[in-house]
Amino acid sequence: MSNDLAQRLRVWRQQKSLDEKVELYMIMQNVTLEEIAEKKPKTKAEFIDIKGFGEKKYSKYGLEILSLINDEWEPISLFTPYESKDTSEREILTVSDFLDKVNATLKPIQVFVQGEITGFKIQKHLYFSLKDKRDESVLQCFMWEKDFEMTQIELQDGLEVILYGYPEIYKLSGKMTLRVASIELVGEGALKKAYDALKKKLDAEGCFDIARKKLLPAYPVRLGVITSKQGAVINDLYTNLGKFGYKITLYDSRVEGALAVRELVKAIRYFRSKPIDLLIVIRGGGSLESLQAFNNETLVKSILDYPVPVICGIGHDKDVPLFCLAADMSVSTPTAVAREINRTWEIAIQRLDFYQTHLMSQFTNSIHRTREISEKTVNWSMIYHQKLKHTDSSLQKLISHFLSIISTTIRHCEKDLKISSDLLWKHFKSSLETIGNKLTQFEKELQNNNPERQLKLGYSLLFSKNRIVKSVNQLQPNDPIQIQLSDGNVHAKAEEIIKKET
């Protein structure tokens, strides 16, 4: 298999993913790309013979992939020849205006470029060159510091990477550079090395400690979901969630590739201030390369000390994504996520069914016992009455007396039966009210534990550098601070730090 062709195919797929705004696997599966790189098909029949390709993909992508296989490249002409002979019609530009026009034309050409890092240096921002291993071609590159911090990749000379950006001419020197927006490592070996190093670092910092993980809420209702709305993942979650009155807010985000990190971090920050009970992050399974976005330090730390529990369902094989290790709960599929969320509601329904069955059983048994007593009394009176018929007439008065007693006994039994029935019904209603009061108490406890309630009582949360401030020792004069109130945020600076005397 041609590794060079395989990499060109992967770069092509990433560009198509951006253009069509879909996930990589929806353009083409990894196994399909690898088979194309190995067989290098030339005809339609050879393309269709490859598993996962087919007529539709050939019609849509066949010529482009054939061009990649043949290593063909068509230069794009940005200008048309000037034909007018009338000098009054000419538009004469200054050098600065011309370069602005060229840069405006170049900016939409956003591409993925692969090569080796050379001349790497950091002077607040990043400056380096990208060298082609085949013919030593060199491309000057520039990257803003904030964009580099998002990648969390330790660059060094000789490291092979894929850069995403657009060409630009630096006006003061006239040199063309690639303005880089994101960086990806190339090869499983480099990815595994970076994964192991970051895992060791985050583990040492306590990011994966069990003690800091929160339990899932008992009866979650408001769910924040982060995933791509394309594909079967979100449908799996919706299909398996029970009908318990969930209120779901979906944030559509990329979940694959270096560009996904920025969107995922933005989505997590979005839900931080929203009234949700649980944050859910899901995607389908994949290789270490396809799950690279979830092994990013910035993304992992964005869920530490999150206001609500975070559960993720990200399919994986042997290397668990670091994001999953930091989450409060991690399962392998969106279906498993749904089951975990349903669990407490299903237990509550089972308990209600048990209480109902138990109460009805008690009521039925009491009715049966009362009926047995009444039947025995009536039977005894009838037998006694028959015996008295055969006695001497002198006993008639006594018989009348006994009949009166029997009649009174029957009335008392009927009265007792009514009282027993009323008491049982009262007990039944009281039991139902007790269950209702318990459910109301559970709801009040959930509301009382709501952090936003404390804010509405006049309390506030103080943040600095994206972390809650718990001590004045965390602040320095002129540090930027953010005060979160119940109805908004206030941005300010710490003008003076006054420590409490002990």
Is residue 77, in this structure, part of any structural domain at all? no
CATH no. for residue 11? 1.10.150.80
What's the pLDDT score for residue 29? Answer: 84
Is 79 part of a structural domain of the chain?
no
Q: Does residue 76 lie in a domain region?
A: no
| Cα–Cα distance, 331 to 315 (Å, whole number) | 8
Look at residue 232 and tell me if it is in a domain: yes
Q: Are residues 203 and 311 in the same domain?
A: yes
Integer-rounded Cα Rg, in Å, for the chain is 38
| Domain's final residue, options 160, 186, 212 | 186
| Of 153, 162, 104, nearest in space to 126 by CA | 153
297 lies in a domain?
yes
Please indicate, yes or no, whether residues 407 and 431 belong to a single structural domain of this protein: yes
In this prediction, residue 279 carries a pLDDT of 96
Q: Are strands 329-331 and 247-252 parallel, antiparallel or unpaired?
A: unpaired
- The two tokens of residue 266 are 């933005």
- 182 found inside a domain: yes
Is 38 in the same domain as 124? no
Which letter does DSSP use for residue 460 in this model? Answer: -
Structural domain span for residue 470: 455-493
Contacts for 31-39: CB closer than 8 Å, 24+ residues apart: 33/6, 33/9, 34/1, 34/6, 36/5, 36/9, 36/65, 36/69, 37/1, 37/2, 37/3, 37/5, 37/6, 37/9, 38/1, 38/2
Count CB atoms within 10 A of the CB of residue 88.
5
| Distance separating alpha carbons of residues 67 and 5, to the nearest angstrom | 11
Same domain, 317 and 241: yes
Nearest by Cα to 256 from 422, 25, 57: 25
Q: What is the pLDDT of residue 82?
A: 52
Of 284, 313, 332, which residue constitutes the final position of a domain? 332
Same domain, 145 and 219: no
Are 302 and 403 in the same domain?
A: no
| Whether 407 and 442 share a structural domain | yes
- Between the alpha carbon of residue 78 and those of residues 91, 313, 453, the distances in Å are 17, 47, 60
* In a shared domain, residues 197 and 327: yes
Structural domains of the chain, count: 5
| Kind of pairing between the strands at 310-314 and 247-252 | unpaired
The amino acid occupying position 165 is G
- Same domain membership, residue 144 and residue 99: yes
- What string of H, E and C letters represents the secondary structure of 311-336? EEEECCCCCCCHHHHHCCEEECCHHH
Q: Single out the residue in 186, 218, 235 at which a domain terminates.
A: 186
Q: Residue 502 domain-assigned?
A: no
Instruction: Find, among 300, 297, 305, 307, the residue nearest to 325 by Cα.
Output: 300
pLDDT score at 309: 95
**Dihedral of the alpha carbons of 224, 293, 465, 458, in degrees to the nearest 10:** 10
User: Residue 121: which CATH number?
Assistant: 2.40.50.140
Residue-wise pLDDT tens digits, 156-176: 887 888 888 899 998 888 889
Give the chain's residues under pLDDT 50: 72-79
Q: 182 and 212: one domain?
A: no
Are 324 and 226 members of one domain? yes
Query: Is 90 a domain residue?
Result: no
Residues 434 and 484 in one domain: no
Its sign, for the CA torsion 197, 198, 201, 207, is negative
